[in-house]
Amino acid sequence: MSWKTDFLLTWYDQHKRKLPWRDRNDAYGIWVSEIMLQQTRVDTVIPYYLRWMERFPTLNVLAHAQETEVVRYWEGLGYYSRARNLRRGAGEVLERFGGQIPDNLTQLRSIAGIGEYTAGAILSIAFHARVPAVDGNVLRIISRLENIGDDIAKPAVKRQITALVADKVPHDRPGDFNQALMDLGASICIPRTPLCSQCPLSGDCRAYALGTERTLPLKAPKNKPEPVYVAAGVLRDATGRFLLRQRPQQGLLAGMWEFPGIERPDRHAHIQELQEFFTPAAESLVITENNRLDMTHTFSHRRWFIRFYFIEGDFSKIAVPDSKWIEPAACDQLPFAGPHRQAALHYCTNIG
């Protein structure tokens, strides 16, 4: 690659984003921020990061926290295995490395939840190691700079781009270099409509010279999320407790809590089906369209079309596996699945 790192670093010094993890610049803070930023926008992450650091300010505090609380602080960011792996990884650092995050690539990659990109970010930013940190932003930038017309999701193309970036990482400012690429991809070399006239590297960009900057990078189209129709029952007893069910410890939203109900792949369930799910004595429950709450929640591979029904009646015969009657105060401490917390808040407010 013919472009000069000096142009990029000069631009970064003038335009770098002010981010809370850059104020800390320590290995733990960088680790947390990079895990949160996976599949999540910076503006969304910032308040979560600040709240997380207030509650779990050190690796030691995180390692000794209860998993339920850790996931609760992550609620809303999605991909909850990230939170569990952060806690698990913190425990591994305490047990295997005496509480010190290692500055060795092999050791760092052996910790739960730390992949190649996260390791590169931690090593270059916190330990000033001359290693690349290649994420989606960097793949997009380099594919344009080099006019790479192959699918950047292919492992061989990722390896090619990683090697190109590794060759460019400067000895004196490796962390700033990697963060400069991140910022350039977030603000200038953006998807679909890059702001080439403002880019410090446009003079050396092959795609810009050839007019292909808006067609790159090439990526195979993603599959559309699969629709899933969910009918959930909101049962609240005379003392104000909610009936909640914990999801299995493996799979989507593992271990999260929700209002129990049923799923259908092709249609919304009938009220009668929901009544029969809770009890064979369907006449003991009253379910109507009144106070129904409709919500949509999209995951990477599926989209929930969910209907919440407030249910009244005789709850004595109800037996739902993995469910418990939970006090409202305890509900606030539990990690809820998807939109189920909003439903709890809605029915707490709107039902007398």
Nearest to 126 by CA among 24, 48, 271: 24
Ramachandran area for residue 309 (φ above 0: left; ψ -120 to 50: alpha; else beta): beta
For residue 165, give the amino acid letter. Answer: V
Nearest to 225 by CA among 307, 154, 296: 296
Asked if residue 338 lies in contact with residue 351, where contact means CB atoms within 8 angstroms, the answer is no
Distance CA 299, CA 25 (A): 31
**Which of 34, 146, 213, 258 does the annotation list as catalytic?**
34
Q: Is 67 assigned a catalytic role?
A: no
**Residue 98 CB-half CA count within 13 A:** 1
**DSSP notation for 250-313:** SSTTTT-EE--EEEESSSPPPHHHHHHHH-S-GGGEEE-STT-EEEEEE-SSEEEEEEEEEEEE
Q: Is 316 buried (19+), middle (13-18) or exposed (0-12) by CB count in 10 A?
A: exposed
For the annotated catalytic residues, the residue numbers are 34
